[in-house]
Structure 1
Amino acid sequence: MHRQVQDRYLPPDHDAFVAAEPPTGRIIVIAPTRAACETIELAIGLKIETVLQKQHGEYIRELASARKGFGIVAGTGTGKTLSIRPIAETILGTTDLRVGVVNREREATPETPTWNIIIVTTGIARRWFQDGDILPSDTLVVDEIHQTSAELELCLALGKRVGCRFIWLSATVDPSFYARYLNAAAVLESSAFDPRKAADVKVIRRDPMAFLDDKFLLSVQKEKRGVGMFLPTRAGVEAAAEVVADKFPRINTAFYHGGEPIRVLRPFLEGEEKKPYFLSMTAAGQSALNVQGLDTVVIDDTRFTNIIEKGKNVLTKLHLGANEILQMAGRVHGRVAGGRVFILSDRDIHFETLRPTEPEFQLAGDSERVAMTCADLGVRADELELPIPLDRIAYKKAMALLESRGIVENGRLSRYGKLVEALPVDRPWAELLVNADDELVPYLAIMSSIESLHRMTREERDLSNIVVPGSDHLTAYNLYAEAYSNCGYMGEVYGLPRHLFDESIEQWAERRGVLVKAIEDTALGMASVFRGLGMEVPTRLVPARDHIYRKFTDLLARFMPFDLVIDEQTADGHDARVSKTSVCGSWGAIAGELRYFADRSGTPRAGIEGTQVSLELIRKYATRGEPEVVYDPRRKHSPLVMRQRVEYFGFELDREVESIEEFPPDLASKAKAILADAMARGEARHPSVKHNQEIVDEIRETYRRSGGITPRLGLRELADLYEQSIADVSSMDEFREARISLDADAIVPAADRIRYSALPGFTTVRESKVPLDYDVEEQDGTRTGVVRLRLPEKLARSLVESELPAMDRPLRFTVLRGPRGAVRAATLEELQEILARPWSPDEVDDDGRDSADLTAAERHAKRIGREIREKSNRTRGRDTGGRKGGPGRGRTRGRDDEERDGKRQRGPKRPGASRPGRRERIEKKGKPGADGGKVNPESRGGRPGKRKFRGR
């Protein structure tokens, strides 16, 4: 029985909301963040003459009254957000603006239909589109459209599908894409740049910490400057502030990043902070914050961004783009007299030549979100005009996953899927909440609102008496529970109950190494979950211990909505290391979210943190597959077997194999088809296979020489002939004794075979004898006979068209390169181009051609090339710690670049959980130990032996 869910962010009465639509339509303002909603609400209540109003005020009102879509690209300090009020007054035809906000903090109410301006975040806007609450008569105002996200990009596509008009506001980016995509009648550009206040810009090749030397800081102190430094990471931001505070305590120092509440910046935003000051920030402050008194900007030319690779978000270290540099420098460039900009970079940057570029989109990395939205609307993904092309392979995989989990049925969200979609948390957590009992709900509601234990804490943290061994999720819950127990109380915000915290939370967070903003965001998120479930927010939180761990892991194992890693390997065979900040060990099964990052060489790696699940629970909820009949050529005496797999969410845990001697009546036809296929492939141990091979080769060669006129004897056709020959066989003994011979004359008459065999097998090129290989090419159902010149590589490299022989059919070309495989080409020019490459095609991968269509020489070359590749791959696997077997096989563990910086501690053992074995003693090489030459591996810093999770 599933738990009932109500989406509290949709209008309570859809019909009443639609019926109350004003004649002019509503203004729906889409904001990138919850904080931006509050800023926009305040801006709509103000009447201030801005730079944008002075430059384009009349034209903006003209475009708004004409009901045309348009865009505004404005630099910092021009007042683009303040322009929403006059735009709304013009469109609505009234100054009576009834403004409401719907976000995670403020849900929809019965008064929502009376609002004519509604401010929503991107995720809630998407849900309103899915519910049909946004109509064609509405006007969409998209603030900070340059802050791309998968949700925003999906909202743009849904708005185009509904037929809304778009008015979009952007910082300094290239607006050409948005102008085309959103059918803008005009794009207005405004800037507060004053050429007389152009900053002094310098590009310096120095590390950020080295740049903050005594000389620079002394000049800041003497000149009483306000310095803002932009760094890519939270740790870097905090380290920079610490360095400045230690060296020059008279410089007022602070830092801000995504894990800090905005209130830490209030003195800087309101001009109360006295100079000199130093403020280090991540990109969170590059465009949305106006710091008073700022006259110096230091920019580290580094960013970590998600690059979409094969449908996955891979966190990659890159240089800053032109948009980021211009926005950061725009804090002072052209706005402040005597401004200074320092760009710390290892590349040559000509600041004067930088121009805005188009934004980078993120939608390709969230195919599951697209799939669920399309299923809810009942449309195909290709029916949506998305900003960027959809990764169709990733989309199909996401749809297959949702269908296998019962969320999507017949292309639409199922009843279960609608319950999952209605909760304001990620899909895996929503599934657990819908299926959990009341005791687990408080734990799940809090864990689902925490991004991760790693993002919740600083590098230096104290988790004593908090850790739940083997579970990052429950450890994060315990941190929140302790924060609430020590510093929290039940209160209300906007009339909604929520956990609040007093000032002591700052001291607690400092002692524990926890980010205060993460605690506050968790309180906000868990309150919205309880409202969606129709439950009261708990006033008391019980720490998670063994009982809850057992219940949580049982729920996890039963439904497994997360990514699963067993022995640091995914179900598709890729390595996934346990994060070094995790409290889980590297052994056994871990359920959590896979995060991808690029190492120092740019190679994508995967890391995971989550909760360990015992082997006993995995086997308890594993499924036994349907029995299948297979032919295993490695089994000399009993190759025909019945195989049944025990699987668990993509992992093969066990395999049961039973030999088949007598064919069961219900499997007799299947068994004979399998045997015939094995004979056609040459895998079956039967004397007729070798005896008939000469006939098979002759018929195939006749087919190639005839240009496809005679019957083709491919693997499928040959298997059908063999299956007819063994139709009366009912056991393996009868199969071994059967005389199975092919009648060549019945397939191709002898006269035809003789006639086509008389075709020449060699020709002369440059007085050299060159073999001819006949072949058949198929295209659009038409067969064309061709002949291949099998050229020596030296001759092929220098051959010209005039030297080619005249033949009765089109010429093709082949060069055999021994262990490097074969090179095939349709033209001489193509052949010489491939030969000039460093690798042969067969060295990279097989071309997928049926081996029956290849000549004996080509089959030999492909086999040698394949063996060389396999040997190379095995060697590379040993060198890099890769696996030689499939999932669950043991391997030597390597260390990636992330783990070289520090050694991750193993999680402590949990009673009843699967734990790797350990060798009691090992032989010590060199100097003997105190126990007679044997030492414990842990006593000398080595790793104990491990018994990996194995499948048979």
Structure 2
Amino acid sequence: MHPSRDHHLPPDPDAYRYAPHPRGRIIVIAPTRAACETIELALGLRLETLLEREHGAEIRTLAASGKGFGIVAGTGTGKTLGIRPMAESILGEPLRVGVVNREREATPETPGWNVVIVTTGIARRWFQDDLITGRDTVIVDEIHQTSAELELCLALGKRAGCRYIWLSATVDPTFYARYLASAEVLHTYAFDPKLKARVQVLPQTPEEFLTERFVRHIIKERRGVAAFLPTRAEVERLGQELGEQWKRLTTAFYHGGEPIRVIRPFLQGEIERPFLLAMTAAGQSALNVPGLDTVIIYDARYGNVVERGRNVLHRLYLGANEILQMAGRVHGRVPDGEVVILSDRELDFASLRPTPPEFQLAGDAERVAITCAAIGVDARDLDLPVPLDRAAYRRAADLLASRGLIENGRLTAYGREVEALPVERPWGELLVHASGDLLPVVAVCSNIESLHRMTREERDLHGLVANGSDHLTAYNIYAEAVNQHGYLGEVYGLPRHLFDEGLEEWAERRGVLIKAVEDTALGLASVYRSLDLPLPKQLPYASKDLRLAWMDLVARVMPFHLVIDEHTADGQEARVSKTSVAGSWGAVAGALRFFADRFGIARASIEGTTLPNDLVSSYAVVGSPRIVLTGPRKHQRLALERRRTYFGFELDTEIEPLSGKIPEALREQARDLLVDLLVAGEVVHPDAGRIKRAIAELDELWRRSGGTLPELSPDALRRLARAQLETVASWDDLQRTRISIDPAALVEQAIRERLESLPGMVKVRGDAAPVDYEIQHGEGVARVRLREGQAKRLRPDEVPALDRPVRFALQRGRHAPLLADTIPELQALLRKAPRHDREDQGDFRTGRGRGKGGGPGHRGPRTRRTRGGRPGRRR
């Protein structure tokens, strides 16, 4: 399947670019689709707000000045409503507003809009196609809601020379002010000191705090309570259990998997107190609940920490920004407010101050690589808001190049097709390769984050589970929702699957999140529009034939992460997710997610589709043959090796002994291999012993010379031996060929005697210490090997003088030595070394040992013996 065009771009891009807008356009970047609708509504209203009263004139003056600026204000102060006066001051003409997101595509009327509201992903695509230029003013709403897409947009806007106006909740604005060259930052706080809330910090969990006594307090005083918890499961459990136990208390829960309409009665003030609304962080900054006067905050969250270029999920404490925003629902805003923070750390609420936001871009190197290829620049040419992990970026670029999406730093034709589809890169590849029968499966699955995120902990998927495939199970769930409760309708004039009222009962029975179903419907419609195909009214279930075709497509294209026998190609352990229906052994293709265990160690889990071994083998690639050495030392022979690999995994190796001549095309590689083995002393040959001794002797002379005798360097000796193998074309030829490396012919006798006369031992505080000669960064040095006792007592002025810089090494028993350039540096390393490392070293002398070192002459620790002759316990 091939996309006809990107429906999120104007049908006629040139008409959009050259439309007459004397002062450019206003591009408003919103964090979500819902925010787009809110901004569109706000642009048609004129309401008195706190922000307008405090800074209305300043905002208009700054907007008309052509300078960038920022606004930091809490929820309910009128930030979004302030966009209208900004736009009017900048454009000086009536506003013609349009929205482009996954719900509403660009139309032929788009060139006439002078205010365009887009989500972050659409904005990035418009930047890539030069639809947003330096003539435009970019207004970023809720800039504190960071994402990789938004951070890329900021960098792309700076590259295009755009002017930025940004709106943020209560965070430290220092970074944004500097990065976006803001002339001024305006602050507005809806905080009344007379309405200061009572704040408690208690070392309890929610279960310990929400006792019968506290719930009776809520009911008696008719309070409105919001409880912020870190996970969906905790939020659902709290809302349901309290609702069942306390009939006089109205309860509900809200998280990212629930549509906003489930708590709309709370938002519209239709729920009378007492009530308790349990929420995740999804409601911390954007929801205003009338009647709210009590906030309970559990000091925990799950957030991504970028480690080696990947996002690793950690359980963390809440940041100051989150706590202030959650408490800000009532603190300084309502009379008789209460804030309870449940935390096991020392926390002084009064001293909390806003901090800079946490950025996400460093963990999405692939998105950066695709974006850079789309516009033909290197990531180093973009002024990114966070440093990019260069190693991760190179790996991502190499992966995309190996898959044929990037060539010479630009997107290929295949890469442009994949990038034009409104899905992530792996799913875009599958859509391009999918046949007509598989298109519904791929299109549906491409818009489902995961089976785990689609369902609740308690779920009933009987009859829908496709054994071995989370992808097909999730597809079956959506297919049943459409087939039983869906119909074709239109939203904003675009076709989409809509659902009847029976969907809620079905979702409750199945344990499926309604919002996941509705989001899938939205994304599915977007995919079919991109392919210019009609949206199907009903969807087939995953039959046996469909399952086989799906597995074949995945195995053939393999755009996902791959785990075989619970390990990745680079050897990292990756377990199948607990909620997955995929098999634990064999090949599993899907999404690899990283999380930290309770010790902070990064672990990996995968959700996806299990692939049969014979299918994997059928798409494995046999590598080019190479020459290897096989057999035990007395029966060594040359052989041809062919490796069968599958997307980074080596499945098996075929060894074919070579009894005759080496194939002509492989002789150079064979000679390179043989010379390496000869130099290392690992191959049988009549001259092997002499070669090994000569190389060891010349290597010592080369190091003692400080590298001033280039003809003795390892590379020079290897070239000398390699030149003598030019006629070797078989194993027998190797055995008949004499190979000579003569130290006497390579080093003059006088030079040899001078180098050999250099000391191999020096006196350190009366003790002998060995000296090794090395070449460090192209310079000859002498490294004195010390024992721990010598290193501790040695002073810099006691270091013996030699003809070259002196370096130091501390022997540490079985451990690698500590290396340092100076005595103070060595002593500092020794103090940092783990205690058991130092005890392993000991300070042994000849004769009977002292202390507990267990060295020569030491008879070991004494043990008390019981009457039975066994070691006993000391009392």
Equivalent position to 2:796, from 797, 801, 809: 801
Aligned mate of 1:179, from 177, 180, 190:
177
Name 1:685's counterpart in structure 2: 684
Is 2:444 aligned against 1:477?
A: no
Work out the CA distance in 2 between the residues paired with 1:770 and 1:653: 51
Report 1:703-722 matches (<5 A). 703-711=702-710, 713-722=712-721
For residues 313-372 of structure 1, what are the alpha-carbon distances to aligned partners after superposition, in whole Å with 9 as ceiling and x for unaligned?
111100000000000000000000000000010011100000000000000111111101
Q: Aligned partners of 1:186, 1:465: CA distance in 2, in Å?
A: 60
Partner AA of 1:811 in structure 2 = V
Counterpart code for 2:708: I
Unaligned runs of 5+ in 1: 844-952
Contact 1:468 1:545 in 2 (8 A): no
**Contact 2:680–2:692 (CA<8 Å) still a contact in 1?**
no
Q: Which of 530, 533, 539 is 1:532 aligned to?
A: 530
Q: Distance in 1 between matches of 2:458 and 2:83?
A: 44
- Unmatched segments (≥5 aa) in structure 2: 839-875
Aligned counterpart, 1:908? none
**Matched residue, 1:884:** none
> How far off is 1:544 after superposition?
1.1
In the TM superposition, residue 687 of structure 1 has moved relative to its aligned partner by 4.3
1:32 alignment counterpart: 31
Q: Distance in 2 between matches of 1:190 and 1:588?
A: 58
Q: Give the Cα–Cα distance (whole angstroms) in 1 for the partners of residues 715 and 620 of structure 2.
A: 36
| Aligned equivalent of 1:675 | 674
Distance 1:594 1:84 in 2: 40
Aligned residue for 1:349? 347
Task: Please give the alpha-carbon distance, in whole angstroms, between the structure 1 residues aligned to 2:366 and 2:775.
Answer: 43
- Counterpart residue number, 1:637: 635
Taking the aligned partners of 1:685 and 1:823, their CA distance within structure 2 comes to: 36
Counterpart of 1:869 in structure 2 is none
Q: Distance in 1 between matches of 2:834 and 2:699?
A: 30
Contact (CA 8 Å) 2:218, 2:274: kept in 1 or not? Answer: yes
Residues 1:834 and 2:829 aligned together? yes
Distance 1:26 1:71 in 2: 19
For 1:674, give the aligned amino acid.
L
**How much does 1:708 deviate?**
2.5
Normalised by the length of structure 2, the TM-score is: 0.93
Give the C-alpha shift of residue 610 in structure 1.
0.8
Q: Determine the C-alpha separation between the residues in 2 that align with 1:761 and 1:370.
A: 55
Q: Deviations over 1:435-492 (max 9, x none)?
A: 1111111111111111111100000000111111111111111111111111111111
Q: Which residue of 2 aligns with 1:420?
A: 418
8 Å CA contact retained: 1:142, 1:168: yes
Q: Give the Å deviation of 1:297.
A: 0.3
CA distance in 1, matches of 2:568, 2:633: 29
3-state SS of the aligned residue for 1:821?
A: strand
SS in 2 for 1:119: strand
Of 68-77 and 721-730, more deviation after overlay is shown by 721-730
Report the secondary structure of 2:712's partner residue.
Answer: coil
Shift of 1:633: 7.0
**Alpha-carbon distance in structure 1 between the residues aligned to 2:197 and 2:674:** 80
1:636 shift after superposition: 4.7
Residue 611 of structure 1 aligns with which residue?
609
Where do 1:292-331 residues align within 5 Å?
A: 292-331=290-329
Deviation at 1:195, TM superposition (A): 0.1
Is 1:144 paired with 2:139? no
Q: 1:247, CA displacement in angstroms?
A: 2.2
State the Cα distance separating 1:569 from its structure 2 match.
0.9
Structure 2 equivalent of residue 444 of structure 1: 442
CA distance in 2, matches of 1:269, 1:323: 23
Q: Is the 8 A contact 2:257 2:514 kept in 1?
A: yes
Cα distance in structure 2, aligned partners of 1:4 and 1:55: 50
Q: 1:632 to 1:356 in 2, by over 3 A?
A: farther
Letter in 2 for 1:801: P
Looking at structure 2, the residues matched to 552 and 503 of structure 1 have their Cα atoms a distance apart, in angstroms, of 32
CA contact 2:707–2:713 (8 Å) conserved in 1:
no
CA distance in 2, matches of 1:193, 1:732: 87
Flag the 1:493–1:666 CA change in 2: closer, same or farther, 3 A.
closer
Q: Is the 8 A contact 2:626 2:669 kept in 1?
A: no
Tell me how far 1:716 sits from its aligned partner. 2.8
The offset of 1:100, in angstroms, is 0.8
Q: CA deviation at 1:663?
A: 3.1
Identity of aligned residues (%): 59
1:163-178 equivalences under 5 Å are 163-178=161-176
| Counterpart for residue 811 of structure 1 | 806
Counterpart of 1:521?
Answer: 519
Alpha-carbon offset, residue 700 of structure 1: 2.2
Which deviations, in whole Å up to 9, do the C-alpha atoms of 1:829-859 show, x marking residues without a partner? Answer: 122222223259999xxxxxxxxxxxxxxxx
1:313 partner letter: N
Cα pair 1:679 1:719 within 8 Å, conserved: no
Summarize the alignment of residues 90-105 of structure 1 with structure 2, pairs less than 5 Å apart: 90-94=89-93, 96-105=94-103
1:386 Cα deviation from its structure 2 partner:
0.2
**1:78–1:635: structure 2 CA closer, same or farther, 3 Å change rule?**
farther
Equivalent-residue separation in structure 1 for 2:59 and 2:836 (angstroms) = 59
Q: Which moved more, 1:798-807 or 1:6-15?
A: 798-807
Question: 1:825–1:276: structure 2 CA closer, same or farther, 3 Å change rule?
Answer: same
- Does the 8 A contact of 1:623 with 1:647 survive in 2? yes
Match of 1:697 in 2: 696
CA distance, structure 2, for counterparts of residue 357 and residue 237 of structure 1: 27
Q: Which residue of 1 aligns with 2:200?
A: 202
1:683 shift after superposition:
1.3
Indicate if the aligned counterparts of 1:5 and 1:423 stay in contact, CA closer than 8 A. no
Cα distance in 2 for residues equivalent to 1:655 and 1:715: 32
- In structure 2, distance between residues paired with 1:19 and 1:828: 70
Write the letter of the residue equivalent to 1:127: R
Per the alignment, residue 945 of structure 1 pairs with none
Following superposition of structure 1 onto structure 2, how do residues 450-489 of structure 1 map, counting pairs within 5 Å? 450-489=448-487
Q: Deviations over 1:866-902 (max 9, x none)?
A: xxxxxxxxxxxxxxxxxxxxxxxxxxxxxxxxxxxxx
Q: Is the 8 A contact 1:149 1:362 kept in 2?
A: yes
* Residues in 2 aligned to 1:125 and 1:485: alpha-carbon distance in whole angstroms: 35
> Could you tell me which residue of structure 2 aligns to residue 216 of structure 1?
214
- Say if 1:5 and 1:422, in contact at 8 Å, map to a contact too: no
Tell me the amino acid that sits aligned with residue 787 of structure 1.
A
| Equivalent position of 2:66 in the other structure | 67
AA paired with 2:229?
A: L
How far residue 713 of structure 1 moved from its aligned partner, in angstroms, is: 3.4
Instruction: Indicate how the Cα distance of structure 1 residues 666 and 154 shifts in structure 2: closer, same or farther if over 3 A, else same.
Output: closer
Compared CA separation, residues 742 and 452, structure 1 to 2 (3 A):
same
CA distance, structure 2, for counterparts of residue 411 and residue 635 of structure 1:
48
Of 251, 264, 267, the residue aligned with 1:266 is 264
Distance 1:125 1:841 in 2: 56
More deviation, 37-46/637-646: 637-646
Moved more, 270-279 or 621-630: 621-630
* Offset at residue 542 of structure 1 (A): 1.3
Q: Deviations for 1:521-551, whole angstroms, at most 9, x for unmatched residues?
A: 1111100000000000101211111110011
Residue matched to 2:858 = none
Query: By how many angstroms is 1:732 displaced?
Result: 1.7
1:35 CA displacement = 0.6
Deviations 1:541-576 (A, max 9, x none): 111111100111111111100111111111111111
Aligned to 1:895: none
Whole-angstrom distance in 1 between the partners of 2:787 and 2:223: 74
Tell whether the 8 Å contact from 1:78 to 1:191 is kept in structure 2 after alignment: yes
**1:131 aligned partner:** 129
Contact 1:663–1:671 (8 Å) recurs in 2: no
1:307 Cα deviation after fit: 0.6
Offset, 1:600: 1.1
Query: Which residue number corresponds to residue 861 of structure 2?
Result: none
Q: State how far apart, in whole Å, the 1-side matches of 2:692 and 2:433 are.
A: 60
Alpha-carbon distance between aligned partners in 2 of 1:495 and 1:13, rounded to the nearest angstrom: 20
SS of 1:41 mapped into structure 2 = helix
**8 A Cα contact 2:765 2:794, kept in partner:** no
Secondary structure at 2:832 match in 1: coil
Q: Does 1:382 align with 2:380?
A: yes
How far apart, CA to CA, are the structure 2 residues paired with 1:634 and 1:258? Answer: 62
Do 1:144 and 1:170's aligned partners in 2 also have CA atoms closer than 8 Å?
A: yes
Q: Is the 8 A contact 2:699 2:714 kept in 1?
A: no
* Matches of 1:183 and 1:821, distance apart in 2: 50
| Aligned match for 2:574, one of 576, 601, 604 | 576
